[in-house]
Amino acid sequence: MRNKFDMQLDSLKEQLIHMGELCEIAITKATEAILEGKEEQAREVILADEEIDQAEKDIERLCLKLLLQQQPVAKDLRQISAALKMITDMERIGDQASDIAEILLTAKLGKAKPNEDIGVMAQATAKMVTESVQAYVDQNMMLAKKVMLADDEVDRLFEKVRQEIIDYIAKGNGEEGAEAIDQIMVTKYLERIGDHATNIAEWVEFSITGNHHGAQAIHDREKAGE
């Protein structure tokens, strides 16, 4: 019975890796489409979001099957519960990559020069997604913590790009204001992707230790407000 359960857990990990890879590809392709004006590639990202949605459904089905048939306890239960939370964040990452691609198809980004840090943000967030999933598979607390810390750099890049674009408009490039604002929207979606990757890493922490960093942070804030 335990051997069968372990095989199903291995299958769960493989499916999570696959879903993480789909998210990483979507982030990279969507940002590349924006920076290089590849409209066809943007359409591919939007269509690929359906595959990410299907991966979420498949993993959810497997998790529920494990919960109902195996009735896991302790760490096994935490691993399955964490996976259910993680796929919600990964599905949202897919949505936001699709939103980035949609900007290229609905906006006019030809006038304003693309900010180079957008590509840096995309690489950083894609890496966060990959490493957060790998941390779950390996039950690697140090890697999960690394992802959480990486979010600070993504936030810093977002603020840097936002200020640079504001300064760009203020220097007499008002006619390109709409295009510049669209670039800010791209970076905002990337910043949110970083937040979701951090959420995944926090659920990894829960699967390993039973503690959830995000839940503790909320508790601390509420206590401070008393």
Domain harbouring 58, CATH code: 1.20.58.220
- What HEC string does 23-81 produce? HHHHHHHHHHHHHHCCHHHHHHHHHHHHHHHHHHHHHHHHHHHHHHHHCCCHHHHHHHH
Give, as one character, the DSSP assignment of residue 113: P
What's the pLDDT score for residue 176? Answer: 64
**Position 110 pLDDT exceeds 60:** no
Cα 121 to chain centroid distance, Å, stands at 12
Q: How many domains does the chain have?
A: 1
Rounded to the nearest integer, the mean pLDDT of the chain is: 88
Tell me how long the chain is.
Answer: 226
pLDDT band (50, 70, 90) for residue 173: low
User: pLDDT for 49-92, tens place per residue?
Assistant: 999 999 999 999 999 999 998 888 889 999 999 999 999 999 99
Contact 94, 26 (CB under 8 A): yes
Identity at 104, one-letter amino acid code: L
Q: Please write down the long-range contacts of 64-67, taking CB distance under 8 Å and 24 or more positions apart.
A: 65/8, 66/5, 66/8, 66/9, 66/12
Give me the mean pLDDT over the 174-193 stretch: 84
CA distance 16 to 79: 12
Q: Which domain holds residue 91?
A: 2-224
Which amino acid does the sequence have at 187?
T
pLDDT, tens digit, 9 for 90 and up, residues 211-222: 876 544 434 433
Closest to 177 measured CA to CA, from 185, 40, 52, 14: 185
Task: Report the alpha-carbon distance of residue 171 to residue 43 in Å, rounded.
Answer: 34
Average pLDDT in the 100-129 region? Answer: 83
Q: Which residue has the tokens 């390993």?
A: 208
pLDDT of residue 222: 38
